[in-house]
Amino acid sequence: MEYFTLNFIADNKETGFVFPQTIFNNPKKFNPNPVLLANQAIDGVYPPDNILPFDYLELNKDAKLTDLMSSSLRGNGFLISQKLKTILEEANIKDYKFYDVKLFDEEKEIKGYCYFHSASCLRNYINYEKSKFYIGDILRNYIRDLGFIPTKFDDLEKHQKDLPYAQEVVCVKQFYLSNSFPFNLDLFLIRAYNYDFFISKRLKEKIEENKITGVLIKSIGDLIKTPALA
């Protein structure tokens, strides 16, 4: 299997020379903290539909509309157009939800956007003994080898707690996927000291064929290794 990372393009001619393209702002009424509510999805618990964390988004000054847009809430999803939503609905994706949003350009409401939110967490499908980890700084620059062979994610978590806070972190050099990994998925997050959105070659080609704007797709090299490629 061949995978790629999916992200937004930031601060260029296509998106407008501003970052992020949209900001969460609600000057008219109290809004529950959107970050805290949205982060519930990491554990598979989504905010109730009647407590929308995305009820007021504002297009940043000089920003341009694209099919995928950067926002001041980042980490679990993307603000997307109806065109991109249709593509994702047809793809094989699990553990996600679409949220209705209200997007404004000053006082004018912009229709046709929603928030794609993922609770994907596939860290239990990693063969930790065959994967490669190291200790790096907060920019992921190499400091030294991990020093032991982990057998599960909790081993890495325990080791991270013993490292100097905000100075040294566990980093991933290569994930080795287990045989039970759901290889048919088109989009997923692993969430084991890596928080990239990974997409399949099939979804990559679909995005390119439909000329989806605002996306940044990159090759991951040998970051992910599958049993078939061992």
Read off the pLDDT band of 28 (50, 70, 90). Answer: low
Domain that holds residue 164: 127-176
Same domain (yes/no): 31, 66: yes
Read off the pLDDT band of 73 (50, 70, 90). Answer: low
Same domain (yes/no): 146, 189: no
Same domain (yes/no): 117, 39: yes
Same domain (yes/no): 11, 109: yes
The crossing angle, in degrees rounded to 10, of helices 201-209 and 82-90 is: 150
For residue 53, give the DSSP letter: T
Domain boundary among 138, 160, 176: 176
Residues 6+ positions from 162 with CB-CB distance below 8 Å: none
Same domain (yes/no): 117, 103: yes
pLDDT at 230: 43
Same domain (yes/no): 162, 67: no
Same domain (yes/no): 205, 146: no
Same domain (yes/no): 112, 197: yes
Domain boundary among 176, 194, 215: 176
Same domain (yes/no): 14, 69: yes
Task: Render pLDDT for 99-149 as a digit per residue (tens, 0 to 9).
Answer: 888 899 988 999 999 989 888 999 999 999 999 999 999 999 999 999 999
How many independent structural domains does the chain possess? Answer: 2
CA angle at residue 84 from 65 to 209, to 5 degrees?
105
Same domain (yes/no): 109, 210: yes
Same domain (yes/no): 166, 186: no
**pTM (predicted TM-score):** 0.90
Same domain (yes/no): 31, 73: yes
